Chain A
Amino acid sequence: MLKYILKRFLIMLVTLWVIITLTFILMVSIPGSPFNSDQSSNETIRANLEAHYNLDEPYPIQYLLYLKSIVTFDFGPSIKQPNQSVNDLLARGFPISFELGILTIIVAVISGIILGILAALRHNGVIDYLAMGIAVLGISIPNFILATLLIQQIAVTWELLPTATWSSPAHMILPITALATGPMAIIARLTRSTMLEVLTQDYIKMAKAKGLSPWKIVFKHALRNALMPVVTIMGTLLAGILTGTFVIEQIFAIPGMGKYFVESINQRDYPVIMGTTVFYSAFLIIMLFLVDIAYGILDPRIKFHRKGGE
């Protein structure tokens, strides 16, 4: 077990290093100085600015300074908004984005699993077709399209819910729905297919023969095994939800990290792009690592002591 965790941990560190270095190389290779377009047409001002941001040092020194700033969790100032540091933006935006993300995951997992179980229990019945119809739609409609459709129908035409911002639970319903539908659909399809497989196995027949109630069979015996694949794809789903927050926050004017990120892209505010990309990537890579470990703990079939393995 320890060896497995250690191996995963090492791979995680290398992945982190790759994304950090890649970010650095890409940012350095952008032609021209980030101050070209601004007020700083004056040579001296630009030289001073570049000195201030350490941009006049040779690349290896810049790289080391950059690594140091990441290790000490100091992403430096924003170029376009001088009184803001990237840390300020992260501190302000992250809690909101995190709330949106966590709520989305909870909604997606719970509703996806329920939908999947219902479909599997009524295999080829009306509920099955209905649930899978919803699932196929959920996978096919991109979240930003769904968000705009929801705003148009529910917020503008029917005036049931507020269109934007993040101030009360009522404001949260539409963004969470838009963001959670895709992951929910994927979880529902996966739960359905593994449930169908599990339900035909002998130990389920045995449980039925013992006279257990259908609910007990589903929740105590079948579901535990049917959920393993859901755990495996959690990493991918997390990545999807995280990138989804960029557009959802933009559309619903939610002041989270994703909104700042998209703004920084449009303004070519390189320190902010760099800082947020590294932060997002580190967050995701660490999450993937945790999902891997959780999977290892949950699935007794993964044998840790065997050397090599399959």
Chain B
Amino acid sequence: MKSVNEVKSAHSPSQVPDEWFKWKEKDEGAAEVVARPSLSYWKDAWRRLLKNKLAMLGLLFLILLAVMAIFGPILSPYEVNQQDLPNQYQPPSAEHWFGTDNAGRDVFTRTWYGARISLFVGLMAALIDVTIGIIWGGISGYKGGRTDNVMMRIIEILYGLPYLLVVILLLVVLGPSLSTIIIALTVTGWVGMARIVRGQVLQIKNYEFVLASKSFGTKSSRIIRKNLLPNTMGPIIVQMTLTVPSAIFAEAFLSFIGLGIQSPFASWGVMANDSLGAILSGNWWTLFFPAFFISFTMFAFNVLGDGLQDALDPKLRK
């Protein structure tokens, strides 16, 4: 303690008397107190996402949509394919909230069935893409060398294939149904995800904590699972939120050219296609509701994806 005082007096000019300084006892407890609440990466990202109004609007819309996709059909007294030909093209009214279509089917009920199909296709496609992409990209990035080279060449070739054309070709052969659409969308769809995962893994595998883990003799599969993947989750989640709208678009597009879910079943693309002739005669509601929900769902996923991208980027942390 004394030596410190000596040092201090040696450095302070003579006009500052030593009595002005007060020695403070070291307090082990106070040093450990954290002034601000500690925020984990995920808590911080969530906090920043909450501040993004557009992204929250998107999230809110998607939650409402999911709720309505589950419970919407229960609220309605009509069945999806319940035809009522005398009542075709009824404008929106108390009985038919969204009106009726060319076969007198209730557009309200069909819209929520369409939501089920669109959300299911979108989420399944994203999930399968992520699974294959993580395995492929993780191994390719972590192994490096020749393995990486071969795996990346394959990706490069698949990446060059025109996505929707391959999907169309597969559906012509497999025949359109819910499961074949999902298969066709994911056959080449995972490539983008694999590229992102590989890029991230390449970057992170050179960090010290991975080296430390390696020097303990940890197995590769465990390093990929425990060290690398958790740190690549940000970009993966962003890519997932952007895969969903493109899959929803693809499903609607395919339904529209006659390769999607077949007509008696409701999907937004089928509904839009069915109403093509109807709008010329002024029955706008048959097109408006599926069009609105396709567009707003894609909008919601896009703004949510953008918001997540900003929220999960550690460089933008304030």
Residues of A within 8 A of B (CB): 11-12, 14-15, 18-19, 22-23, 26-27, 29-30, 136-137, 139-142, 144-145, 148-149, 151-152, 156, 163, 239, 242-243, 246-247, 250-251, 262, 265-266, 268, 273, 277, 280-281, 284-285, 288
- Distance to closest chain B CB from A12 (angstroms): 7
The answer to whether B256 and A247 have CB atoms under 8 Å apart is yes
The answer to whether A23 and B169 have CB atoms under 8 Å apart is yes
* List of B residues within 8 angstroms of A265 by Cβ: 168, 172, 257-259
- CB-based closest 7 A-B pairs: A140-B299, A15-B160, A243-B164, A140-B298, A152-B279, A145-B291, A26-B173
Total number of B residues with any Cβ neighbor in A under 8 Å:
40
Evaluate whether A144 and B272 lie within 8 angstroms (CB atoms) in the complex, with A19-B161, A136-B299, A265-B258 already known.
yes
B163, B249, B257: which contacts A142 (Cβ < 8 A)? Answer: B249
Interface of A is mostly: helix
The answer to whether B165 and A243 have CB atoms under 8 Å apart is yes
Evaluate whether A29 and B257 lie within 8 angstroms (CB atoms) in the complex, with A139-B302, A145-B294 already known.
no
User: CB-nearest residue of chain B relative to A144?
Assistant: B256
User: CB-nearest residue of chain A relative to B280?
Assistant: A156
A285, B284: Cα distance in complex, Å:
40
Interface status of B170 (Cβ within 8 A of chain A): yes
The answer to whether B157 and A15 have CB atoms under 8 Å apart is yes
A284, B159: Cα distance in complex, Å:
12
The answer to whether A142 and B276 have CB atoms under 8 Å apart is no
Instruction: Please name 29 pairs of A and B residues whose Cβ atoms are closer than 8 Å in the assembled complex, sorted by A.
Output: A11-B157, A11-B160, A15-B157, A19-B166, A27-B173, A30-B173, A136-B303, A137-B299, A140-B245, A140-B299, A141-B291, A141-B295, A141-B298, A142-B253, A144-B256, A145-B295, A148-B272, A148-B279, A148-B287, A149-B291, A152-B284, A156-B282, A163-B280, A243-B165, A265-B257, A265-B258, A268-B172, A277-B168, A284-B165
The answer to whether B302 and A140 have CB atoms under 8 Å apart is yes
* List of A residues within 8 angstroms of B79 by Cβ: none
* List of B residues within 8 angstroms of A242 by Cβ: 162
Interface status of B252 (Cβ within 8 A of chain A): yes
User: CB-nearest residue of chain B relative to A235?
Assistant: B160
* List of B residues within 8 angstroms of A285 by Cβ: 160-162
* List of A residues within 8 angstroms of B173 by Cβ: 26-27, 29-30
Interface of B is mostly: helix
Residues of B within 8 A of A (CB): 153, 156-158, 160-166, 168-170, 172-173, 245, 249, 252-253, 256-259, 272, 275-276, 279-280, 282, 284, 287, 291, 294-296, 298-299, 302-303
Evaluate whether A22 and B166 lie within 8 angstroms (CB atoms) in the complex, with A29-B173, A136-B302, A141-B295 already known.
yes
User: CB-nearest residue of chain B relative to A292?
Assistant: B160
A156, B280: Cα distance in complex, Å:
7
- Distance to closest chain B CB from A296 (angstroms): 15
A14, B157: Cα distance in complex, Å:
7
The answer to whether B164 and A18 have CB atoms under 8 Å apart is no
- Distance to closest chain B CB from A21 (angstroms): 12
A246, B167: Cα distance in complex, Å:
14
A287, B318: Cα distance in complex, Å:
43
A79, B256: Cα distance in complex, Å:
24
Evaluate whether A246 and B257 lie within 8 angstroms (CB atoms) in the complex, with A142-B249, A273-B172 already known.
yes
